[in-house]
Amino acid sequence: MFPGQLYKTESGRLFHAGAIAIIFVGLPARGKTHVSRSLSRYLRWLGVQTAVFSVGNYRRQIIGVEVTNDFFSPMNKDTADLRLKIANACLDDMIRWFAAGGQCGILDGSNTTEERRRELVERFKSVDVHYMFIESICDNPSIIDSNIRSVKVSSPDYVGWKDVDAVQDFKRRIENHMPFYATIEDMSLSWVKLINVGEKIIVNNVHGFLQSKIVYYLMNLHISPRKIYFARNGVSLNEHSYRADAPLSPAGHKYAENLKKFVLKLRENQSLLSPAMTTAEAPRQLTVWTSARKRSFQTAAHFLDHEEIIVRQRSVLGERNPGVCDQMTPQEIEKKYPDECLRAKNDPYRHRFPRAESYYDLANRLEKVILELEREKNDVLIIAHESVIKCLYGYLFGLSERSIPSLEIPENVLLELVPRAYATEETRHVIPDSLVGINWQQQTANLLSLAGKVPASPMFMDHYLPDDKRKGRPGSNTAFSTPSSSPALSSTAVSEMSPGIQHRGDLADDLGHGPEGTFRL
């Protein structure tokens, strides 16, 4: 089972689409591996049984990583038989996977010659598997250089290599392929051409619902370097009520200001440590996404005093609705709804209490945000409730639905994610408390009036405006002031969650497995 699966069928195949082979075509460093893994992640999120078959992985398993770039040259007759054996071993496993019930197999390889592509078409037709080619064409030198560096960083081929040596070796590998590369021109075939991965897309002879979903995803995809940050919203004045939609507490505003200062200082320090960047790797604008819920938006509102930062509201980023369990303690819920609690423990991802939302519901609601996140080329900071971050984190790391409810996204921690070709890198930073002597009742209007810069529904916007700009509604005295001196950055980056970092057990939080014999909402 997968996070966003809409429904199940007896065969395990969805959308009445049958089996589909996605065949990648293109020179090295054109983003094929990045796109293939991103596409696999999205299809698995939809519930489609998907697997990536990488010719490169088979080559590493059969002969290891200690090969020269001449090995890949089509002119090298000495290695031709071995290269074909490796490619066919990958193809044979893919065919067997289809026979076992797999639905969408992705063949990650160069496949640069017409002869090889005809062989693949005939082979898939013989086993009643539909095919679709995806050719990645790139003529932008800055994108190619960025792709080379990305592959160098994450590819198993270059573990322990010096940067200069790895880049030069990979460029020679590309040069060996170029004289033999033939772009797809046969209009009778089903294919998609990605030009500079996101700049332009050409679609030919593509039919079917699932194939159309794939094309739509590719239209939103890019492989440009960027960072995605996750941070939980600050504490509100009423943490136990979803319906109250309470504003941030003074402690919540303090956390929001600490978050802002830490993020800005972190990005400043990182830009100073990486002065020799290509155009594609240059510092990018930061965009902040948040929901229309008060505590989330008011946390993000602290970034509004920086005009270069875009703050956007997304109503779909709102937390899960707890339904009838709103304002109830776990003990009260277990006493009043024992049967529901038992079902929730058995299936914490898909179970929903009366008039509530499950993680399954939330995952499907977030599909719009996922596509927009794939399309966004700026760095993005998402400030949201823990349940929302869990789902988005689960998508980016390809986690199963069973894993998502039990994830721990602690308070006072900034998650920094960097999507790369072979994996998504994660760093966790503890957000230091760097504010002292703050008068939280001094500058309410100055801050919240900045909320007028953010697109929002009128029904929400009045909550964030100062008294003199509201439409006859009573005012709020929640406030904060900015300290006069900037604190020094004091961060802790950890790859695993420290046992000392605790997370808040919100009532409107997730339904998951706690310690033995306990129920957690």
Residue 203 scores a pLDDT above 70:
yes
In this predicted structure, what is the pLDDT of residue 359? 93
Q: Tokens 């405006």 map to which residue?
A: 465
Q: Tell me the per-residue pLDDT of 227-257, one tens digit each, with 9 for 90 and over.
A: 999 999 999 999 889 999 999 988 899 999 9
Tokens of 73: 């040259």
State the average pLDDT over residues 272-288.
68
Look up residue 487 and give its DSSP letter.
P
Rounded CA separation 179/173 (Å) = 12
Q: How far is CA 437 from the centre of its chain?
A: 38
DSSP state of 248: B
pLDDT of residue 67: 72
User: pLDDT-based confidence at 169, cuts 50/70/90?
Assistant: confident
Q: Which CATH architecture has domain 19-219?
A: 3-Layer(aba) Sandwich (3.40)
Residue 16's pLDDT band (cuts 50, 70, 90): low
More confident residue, 122 or 150: 122
- What is the per-residue pLDDT for 132? 97
293 has a pLDDT exceeding 60: yes
**228-321+357-430 matches 19-219 in CATH topology:** yes
DSSP string, 319-371: PPP-GGGTT--HHHHHHH-HHHHHHHHH-TTT---TT---HHHHHHHTHHHHH
Contact (CB, 8 A) for 235 and 386? no
340-377 confidence digits (pLDDT tens): 999 999 999 999 999 999 999 999 999 889 999 999 98
Rg (CA), the chain: 25
pLDDT of the residue at 9: 58
Instruction: List the single range of 63-77, 280-294, 423-437 with lowest mean pLDDT.
Output: 63-77
Mean pLDDT of the region 255-262: 94
Architecture of domain 228-321+357-430: 3-Layer(aba) Sandwich (3.40)
Closest to 197 in 3D by CA, of 121, 144, 126: 144
Residue % of the chain over a pLDDT of 70: 77
Burial of 334 (0-12, 13-18, 19+ CB in 10 A): middle
pLDDT at 443 over 50: no
Rounded to an integer, the average pLDDT of 188-213 is 92
Element containing residue 301 per DSSP (H, E)? none
Is residue 107 a contact partner of residue 90, using CB atoms and an 8 Å limit? yes
Q: Which residues contact 484 (CB under 8 A, 6 or more apart)?
A: none
Taking the chain, what is the end-to-end CA distance rounded to the nearest angstrom?
A: 22
Q: Which of 37-41, 63-67, 211-215 has the least mean pLDDT?
A: 63-67
- Sorted by where each begins, the domain ranges of the chain are 19-219, 228-321+357-430
Q: How far from 148 is each of 32, 57, 66, 200, 441, CA to CA, in Å?
A: 12, 18, 19, 21, 52
pLDDT band at 494 (very low <50, low <70, confident <90, very high): very low
Please report the DSSP string for 149-210 in residue order.
HHHHHH-GGGTT--HHHHHHHHHHHHHHHGGG------TTS-EEEEETTTTEEEEES--SHH
Rounded CA-CA distance 152/135 in Å is: 22
Q: With 80 as the cut, is the pLDDT of residue 89 above it?
A: yes
- Residue 481 in this model has a pLDDT that exceeds 50: no
pLDDT confidence tier of residue 173, bands split at 50, 70 and 90: confident
Per-residue pLDDT band at 159 (split at 50, 70, 90): confident
pLDDT, position 102: 92
Instruction: Please give the Cα distance from 453 to 373 (Å, whole number).
Output: 21
For residues 73-90, b (16+ Cβ closer than 10 Å) or e, as one string?
Answer: bbeeeebeeebeebbebb
User: What mean pLDDT value characterizes the chain?
Assistant: 80
Average pLDDT of the segment spanning 88-112: 95
Instruction: Name the region of 434 (left: φ>0; alpha: ψ -120 to 50; beta: rest).
Output: alpha
pLDDT for 64 equals: 76
